[in-house]
Amino acid sequence: MRERTLLAKGAAERIGESGSRLVHGQRDASGMLHEETTAYDLCDHAAALDGIHSLLADAEVGKRGSELVGIGHRVVHGGEAFREPCLIDDDVIETIRKLSPLAPLHNPANLLCIEVAIARRPDVPQVAVFDTAFHQSIPPPAFRYAVPEDWYASHGVRRYGFHGTSYAYVARQAATQLGRPLRELNLIVLHLGNGASAAAIANGKSVDTSMGLTPLEGLVMGTRGGDLDPGVIVYLARQVGMSAEDIDAELNQESGLAGLCGVGDMRDVLRREAAGDARARLALEVYVYRMRKYIGAYMAALGHVDGIVFTAGVGENSPEIRARACTGLETLGVQLDHARNRASGEQARAINRQGSPIAVLVVPTNEELEIAEQTLKSIETTSADSRR
């Protein structure tokens, strides 16, 4: 972490299924990152962590294993209980467990990984970094829904927002690119991956975001539909006889781009549109229209905007989507330089015209580094407090 150097990377895939494997890579002495795939019997998360530990121990990075000072865990939902990262103890684990109904697909898996990691490395401080924490600065008029008070007071029904680690990292990088302190900037950040959201950031703090109680609200995504009249759910239950579980599964896994045109990967949608597929064209029109609506809404919420930032898989790699998102916003100060937009690059960069009132940026996100940064800061802060 002194040099912010990536030593190793990887992923455990298909845990508990046939064909499970570890995709992994380490840097050699020259700095080159070599990646390969190894078949592993990953019957559960404990086996996955053991496989990861074995790979690291065998690699050059493992020779410095004694230097391991912390393990950071991404936790999707922190509710109102967690405004910042924290060292994990029994109370933190129990609170995350109680919040699981707010993220039933994510928090239980996050907890499982935490418990396995603590069992394997009880000597190492472990930190929970929450996707929702960055958005705890959103004021009540933006996070409250107009529903009965008891829904909020007793059941926590409110806007929480997600992709917080990405927004925290990208906002700082955007400020660096613009050469101004983040505390002086108003930004609209579009995190466009398979999951997609938008955030309005005023003076470095989140003041609104498109995802809500769950990651279903907001922009059109790969397999999630985003904003939806809640009456649709009641209608399907009454008229079609669909269960809550069936509706939930289709909203999460069969909606969005996939629901509109049959495929959820943006690259496939663009290819189909280019081939004349009318459903793909409609899917893209819905996707971009929803995005432009949020940009306009956040311009109003912020009062003035210094920059619009594109990040994540689609945001970083699709000049076509960036161009479409900015089309029609010229009179609002968004002036794209199409040559700069089409130019490839792996670093943060501006793609607006010279003299554009609003900067337009592409900023690659790095959620792993942000988790590492927040983990280290939490450990150092706790250590300093204990010495006082």
pLDDT tens digits for range 253-305: 999 999 999 999 999 999 999 999 999 999 999 999 999 999 999 999 999 99
pLDDT of residue 59: 65
Chain length of the chain: 388
Query: Which tokens sit at 91?
Result: 């109370």
Beta bridge partners of 130: 75
| Domains of the chain: residue spans and CATH | 1-66 (no CATH), 181-367 (3.30.420.40)
Helix (H), strand (E) at residue 189: strand 186-192
Helix (H), strand (E) at residue 33: strand 33-39
* Whole-model pTM over 0.95: no
Q: Which residues in the chain show pLDDT less than 50?
A: 65
pLDDT of residue 53: 83
pLDDT of residue 60: 61
What is the identity of the amino acid at 246?
Answer: D
pLDDT of residue 175: 98
pLDDT of residue 206: 98
Q: Which residue has the tokens 């950031």?
A: 201
pLDDT of residue 67: 76
Question: Phi first, then psi: what are they for 84, rounded to 5°?
Answer: -155, 170
* 131 tagged catalytic: yes
Q: Do residues 329 and 347 touch, judged by C-beta distance below 8 A?
A: no
pLDDT of residue 366: 95
Dist CA 345 CA 348 (whole Å): 8
Which member of 28, 58, 91, 131 is catalytic?
131
> Helix, strand or coil for residue 135?
helix
pLDDT of residue 320: 97
pLDDT of residue 62: 55
